[in-house]
Amino acid sequence: MELSTLIRARMESPTPLYDSKGNEFSNIVEQFNIVRGYLETLPSFTRPVGIMLPKEPQFVLLMLACMERGIPYVPLSVGTPEERLADIVEDADIQSVIRQENFDAILSRGKIPDKLADRQLPAEHPLYIIFTSGSTGRPKGVAISRGAFKAYSDWLVDYLGDSITEDDRVLQITEFTFDISLIDIILYLRKGTPLYFSGFNNIIVKLAQEIELKQITAFSTVPNNMTMLLSDLVVKKSDFSRLRTLMVGGARFSYGLYQKISQHCRGLDIHNFYGPTEFTIYCHAKKMTFDPVQDARDHTVSIGLPNTQVQPEILVDDRFGEAFEQGELILSGAQIMNGYVNNSEKTAEAITEIQGRKFYKTGDLAYKDDRGEYFIVGRLDDTIKVRGYRVNLLDIDSYIARLDFVQDVTTIAIPDEIRENLTVCYLIPKADVRESLKIVDVKRKLKEVLMDYQVPDKVVFTDRFPTNTSGKVCKKTLAAQFLESQK
């Protein structure tokens, strides 16, 4: 079913939406139609609308109205700095930024319009633009088409089958500026699954309480949140017995997290999803079997098989690699982005044509095994030089994560004039050793599992990692904290 038709059908008999306080959102149909009427008055249906609302049901309402009317939208965080907002508005050519006060005025002054004409939109018409951090400091706007979104949605519904239905309760955790939040929207539209909005604000104990009190059965989140939820201090005091399905993605699924999930989540459907924003949410999936031989190789967790409309390759010295050859993971298929808005230079750097096929270059170092499953072993830009040796930071983390006293770990590189790079390991110890563990003991253990040049120069204990708005570990913040501590 075409997206606009699907949305109208869902709004005729809407599935409940519950705000972060647990209240059912009322007047969905009336508000949806008023917003549709407002969008119809805008001067252009090709120029996008910016949505800067709190992460509550009204955000979804406006998002769906834009999708139905064929007007691209740009999700924005409340409190976005004005300078960054100005860059986004300029690059995306946003015609209107709708904030809470604008939205309230639309509802108070608006009226339900007469029947609106359907728009026949081509598959390449932009559906949304999500801005990600750019290497120059200026954000890059990833334009995703209606066709790419449909390709992913069709795959997800088929992949999940009947494991999530209208009888489930999905906790909406992720900010809408992060594209994995759209999994919740797809489940709402295609499965009729009620959405319960989380207000945990990175307070992990509150997230655990929401899962328990709202009797949540399924949610999608990033690995860092799962690691914190399954920490000894949280999991022992929580009741997750209603949970049935966990969808984890957006960052590295560490072997340490795999061990914790194997310990605490047997009997649940656990999915490791992988994919860059530029390839529409996710492009690979692995359902955990809880058999380490099937789920991982050399303590690297599998990202599984590609989606049905995704054709991945491993690029090795300008040729496609064979099984177990490491190279850059490149992606072709219907989910590929239109490009970076107003940035043809960056688009040309990211998308290449090989043998008549268009590929997105992920920058991820990967290989596929003899079963056709894929494994991410690092980032090309995470491969650094230390004392003349090539070192991959993710590789270091994978070895450290195996140590029995480690809950989670992230290693960063600080440029150094003499040694090329200084490596700093930020380590969250397990609760039972947190008071007794010493840096000198950690260093001794690291020398047992790492080459001399791989052993981090510094080890720093921490209770948690700083995260960005997407819930990913923010290495820039860690680097800034380290440099500040050295003054």
- Chain segment 210-224, per-residue pLDDT in tens: 999 999 999 999 998
pLDDT tens per residue, range 307-355: 999 999 999 998 999 999 999 999 999 999 999 999 999 999 999 999 9
Same domain, 25 and 173: no
Res 460: pLDDT: 96
Same domain, 215 and 192: yes
Residue 392 lies in a domain: yes
Q: Whole-number mean pLDDT of the chain?
A: 93
Res 137: pLDDT: 58
| Backbone φ, ψ for residue 324 (5° rounding) | 75, 0
Same domain, 185 and 52: no
Res 80: pLDDT: 86
Same domain, 292 and 375: yes
Q: Token digits for 439?
A: 């840096």
8-state DSSP, 242: T
Same domain, 294 and 399: no
Q: Token digits for 464?
A: 């948690």
The alpha carbon of residue 330 and the mean position of all alpha carbons in its chain are separated, in whole angstroms, by 18
The answer to whether the Cα torsion of 7, 8, 9, 13 is positive or negative is positive
Res 85: pLDDT: 92
* Residue 108 to residues 17, 43, 103, 423, 441, Cα–Cα distance (Å): 21, 21, 9, 56, 64
Q: Give dist(CA 454, CA 81) in Å, integer.
A: 39
Residue 134 has pLDDT above 60, yes or no: no
8-state DSSP, 303: -
pLDDT tens per residue, range 48-82: 999 999 999 999 999 999 999 999 999 999 988 88
Amino acid at 249: G
In contact, 185 and 63? CB cutoff 8 Å: yes
pTM score of the predicted model: 0.87
Per the structure, the count of domains in the chain is: 3
pLDDT tens per residue, range 280-298: 999 999 999 999 999 999 9
Pairing of β 357-368 and β 351-354: antiparallel
Indicate the pLDDT class of residue 383, thresholds 50, 70 and 90: confident
Last residue of one domain, picked from the residues 354, 383, 412? 383
Res 384: pLDDT: 85
Last residue of one domain, picked from the residues 365, 383, 401? 383
Residue 136 has pLDDT above 70, yes or no: no
Same domain, 11 and 61: yes
Average pLDDT over residues 92-110: 95
Residue 180 has pLDDT above 80, yes or no: yes
Residue 140 has pLDDT above 80, yes or no: yes
Q: Give dist(CA 275, CA 54) in Å, integer.
A: 26
Q: Which domain holds residue 376?
A: 145-383
Percent of the chain residues past pLDDT 70, beyond the cut: 99
Amino acid at 154: D
pLDDT tens per residue, range 411-469: 999 988 667 889 999 999 998 898 999 999 999 999 988 888 899 999 999 999 998 87
